[in-house]
Structure 1
């Protein structure tokens, strides 16, 4: 008799969103991909938030769904999470069950406890799931001795944090990707896993989030590291030269083709081909590219002979390709051929805890490139301004802004005036302050502070950093009041 399939998971915020009353989130993606006989869920939200979700979920699935509330003092309290997770596994796991644990929902602390328990006392299959990336079994590339599993009173936060990051040794190829953010550490681990497998990789993220850095690191951590890495910007393809760029051409194939020329597929033979801005490819090019990906064969422009190339494909885009497919702008068959290993890079604005570290690290790297900047540092208030900016250009914008501020700074310390002058602030950013979605609730004090800081910034720019004059423009009693408001 085959074992019954049991799914255990925390309920996360993305599960509860249910846009327009429809199921979404990692749990729903998981249930749609893998059939289960029993689902056991655990949550730390209020009953009012969870009840509608559980009601709809129970109607949508064939198997039994149980859920229980965990009384946590905090969603990152390891002791409380350990007690709650251990309790549910002790109660629901039986010998005739095959246990699956979904890691995606919940905090990194919750994920680390699942890893600890699943690697020591409750053998299971770990999964990661999302509607965007699909469902994937997760291989944790280390073992934990059962003797390691501590009693609750002996839990060590640092050790568990390492588990939360799936702390296998990270290849030195990823050293240039600097971060102290848990999500980036997890992405580096996932990228390292992908580097060891000959599968296509799609890297998604806004402009400036480091997509090419991840692509190069994957190449350098792979068995192809000593072979060519060919990077091409698909958004820069002149339409009349696309075939020549991709496939190469024979002499005389068109006016101006005075010599034979290899295309990027040929140049990347035995190495890695990185196609950036992949979502910009025209439909006709998508068709021709799909044919090459299917069998690795192509013909140079003006030549009938078939050639082949053994290349590893990595693509990157700042577009939502799922939406592009849904609207008929991108071929579905091509999307599913390239979106095997998928990495979603977060925007800089969601990495608030990482901004201080990133700013200091980037300034050090700039000092190596520009010796005149050596010894420069960033003041506390300037760092506060960095944290308040939205960084639409992400890390690329932050690095350029720091370079401008450092060049303009007349002392060893980049102050708030240097930073304000170096920033580019679009009008749309300030207008968005007045158009917040109140249905989900937000901190009005934080919003008022954001408005105040916005106009302080404008006043300082207008007065070339003169705090006395800026204070008058803003209606403050004196420049000291202005300084106090900047420091708040």
Structure 2
């Protein structure tokens, strides 16, 4: 299938001033119209920040000057030189295109210098594209930008949603070094660190949600180290790794002779963590009969070892973690509701790495420095801009843990002091994609229902148009719509070209 050539640009003041001009009379028609007249494109997709009363007449005039389909969307900016807003709007615009079927060309000439700088930043890092410029003196030119760079958007500092939490965190004693080890400049993660600090100061159970590799144990250790229990034990246990027949023994210990192989008394993790904190990872994997006994420990502060008759009193702060949706498990009867409300007092939802805007390259550099410091032969390594761009485009389903192991592999076999794009490509594991389907997405971290609907609509509209060779009337019939105008309305609603 031949890729579409898409022209992308801001609409500039020079373009708007050309509305109504006649090129046959040598009247200037602006960079956009000149580019469409000179180069071959399949569609033109513009964004603008001017009032509609100026832009819509220009679009109507532009359509009389070219056979290329023209679309334009309003982008709300407080200022045409606000880099953060321009970056977000331009990136949103470029992300709407199909990377497999659309070949992007960015016209740099219209717009402010800030807009041009952002186009270059995005076009050299996140989106493969060609660059064009147009002027009266030199005409329309395809240009090469002779440097490589890598960049990730760093959100502007914003007031956290909970001012109270921020005040409490700032008013407390200095955060323990364990919190400083949570590397971030993402506002959502900064808020979570502040919330975790507040939770640490109150001796309540904690439940941490998050995908594998998001740092659940790091948060658990930070909470313990910032609490009044810091001088007492911190014991971590992965519940998913315990054989079902040994769960009771591992949790509560056993007496000598309690079962075959029990040659001596052995304390369980509750006893080992007495006075301190017990971190139970993969907590959602515990079976229902174990959940009952855990509830008793939490309610009464006591347990009986396997094979024992005497109750043991215990004072433990329980920190649990899971990637499962426990509320869903409660509703379908696989997790006890009374236990859920016991453990879910202080609750933290850790975002996956792909949602931590601004953190990816910061973490990559930090992890590389930490890995290099452990072996003198690996010191002074850097990551090339091309390699960083590959890092930015990867999904990182394994989150920070996957990033760390990938960097370690690349570090071990890079031939000089620079980790190249080839080193990163070789170090990456490309896992087969698992399509959860629109009806089976994990809602525990939240979903965007409009995006899901848009994905479904976009997929079937494109299939229908392809099947009907672009005939909207026939495509509308295939989709069960009354007319091509209904199809146009759907396409406009979900931004489908």
| TM-score, normalised with respect to structure 1 | 0.57
Q: Contact 1:192 / 1:221 at 8 angstroms: preserved in 2?
A: yes
Corresponding residue number in structure 2 for 1:408: 413
Deviation at 1:390, TM superposition (A): 0.6
Q: Which residue of the partner structure matches residue 297 of structure 2?
A: 292
Q: State how many pairs are aligned.
A: 298
Matches within 5 A, 1:59-458: 73=78, 111-112=159-160, 115=163, 138=165, 140-141=167-168, 170-428=175-433, 439-440=453-454
How many angstroms apart in 1 are the aligned matches of 2:157 and 2:312?
51
CA contact (8 A) 1:271 1:310 kept: yes
Assess if the C-alpha contact under 8 Å between 1:141 and 1:168 holds in 2. no
Richer in helix (by share): 1
Paired residues of 1:174 and 1:217 also in contact (CA < 8 A): yes
Change beyond 3 A, Cα 1:142–1:218: closer
Distance (Å, rounded) in 2 between the aligned partners of 1:269 and 1:167:
26
Compute the displacement of 1:172 (Å). Answer: 2.6
SS in 2 for 1:261: coil
Deviations 1:219-277 (A, max 9, x none): 11111111110111100111111111111111111111111111111111101111010
**CA distance, structure 2, for counterparts of residue 276 and residue 114 of structure 1:** 28
Gaps of 5+ in 2: 1-75, 86-154, 442-449, 459-497
Change (3 A) 1:430 1:374: farther
Could you say what secondary structure the match of 1:387 adopts?
A: helix
Answer yes or no: is the 8 Å Cα contact 2:178–2:218 preserved in 1: no
Contact kept in structure 2, 1:204 and 1:318, CA below 8 Å: yes
Alignment check: 8 A CA contact 1:170 1:188 kept? no
CA deviation after TM superposition for structure 1 residue 329, in Å: 1.2
Deviation at 1:360, TM superposition (A): 0.4
Report how far residue 425 of structure 1 moved: 1.3
Deviation, 1:373, is 1.3
Query: Offset of 1:426 from its aligned partner?
Result: 2.1
Name the CA shift for 1:224/1:417 in 2 (closer, same or farther; >3 Å): same
Task: From the CA coordinates, give the structure whose radius of gyration is larger.
Answer: 2
CA distance in 1, matches of 2:77, 2:424: 41
Aligned equivalents of 1:335 and 1:72: distance in 2? 45
**1:338-362 Cα deviation digits (max 9, x unpaired):** 0000011110011231111110000
Change (3 A) 1:409 1:285: same
Closer, same or farther: CA 183–168 of 1 in aligned 2, 3 Å: farther
Deviation digits for residues 391-435 of structure 1 (CA, Å, limit 9, x no counterpart): 111000000000101111111111111111111112317999xx9
Give the Cα–Cα distance (whole angstroms) in 2 for the partners of residues 301 and 431 of structure 1: 41
Q: Deviation at 1:312? A: 0.8
What RMSD, in angstroms, separates the aligned Cα atoms of the two structures?
A: 3.0
Say if 2:189 and 2:356, in contact at 8 Å, map to a contact too: no
Structure 1 residue aligned with 2:127? none
SS at match of 2:358: helix
Alignment partners' CA distance in 2, 1:344 and 1:370: 35
Kept in 1: contact 2:186–2:358 (CA 8 A) = yes
TM-score by length of 2: 0.56
